[in-house]
Amino acid sequence: MDYKILTVEDVSSSHAKRYSSIVQISPCPRDEMLAAIRGAIEKLSGEVVHHNKQHKARWTDTKPHIVYLFVTKSTEVEWPNWACRAVWVDTELEKEFHPPPLGGEWVDKNLEVLWQ
């Protein structure tokens, strides 16, 4: 399944390295969409992005502990109609620093998807 990462933003806190990303996926069935989500998570969880010098000093070469995905089926990111939102949490991250659940479906032990 093809996907395109349109944006990646470092939204880290002092306790967790976090990314927020908009991902475009062509219209497809959910199982294919889920495969694309997993592909985007795999790619983003291996990257190092910094918002500013302070985040770079704090996190240096740390890969993200949390990745938020906003998935769209169109190129319109100004006012998108989200196909779903997803959050991936590194299994090594201490529970006290986990984000609140989206209220969606846990498709893996560390990946939650809220379908729209």
3-state secondary structure the chain: CCEEEEEEEECCCCCCCEEEEEEEECCCCHHHHHHHHHHHHHHHCCCCCCCCHHHHHHHCCCCCCEEEEEEECCCCCCCCCEEEEEEEECCCCCHHHCCCCCCCEEEECCEEEEEC
Contact 33, 115 (CB under 8 A): no
pLDDT band at 104 (very low <50, low <70, confident <90, very high): very high
Contact 18, 59 (CB under 8 A): no
- What does the pLDDT read at residue 107? 94
- What does the pLDDT read at residue 77? 64
Every domain of the chain and the residues it spans: 3-115
Q: What does the alpha-carbon distance between residue 95 and residue 73 come to, in Å, rounded to a whole number? A: 32
Task: Give me the mean pLDDT over the 20-38 stretch.
Answer: 92
| pTM given for the model | 0.89
CATH for the 3-115 domain, from 3.10.310, 1.10.3470, 1.10.287, 3.20.20: 3.10.310
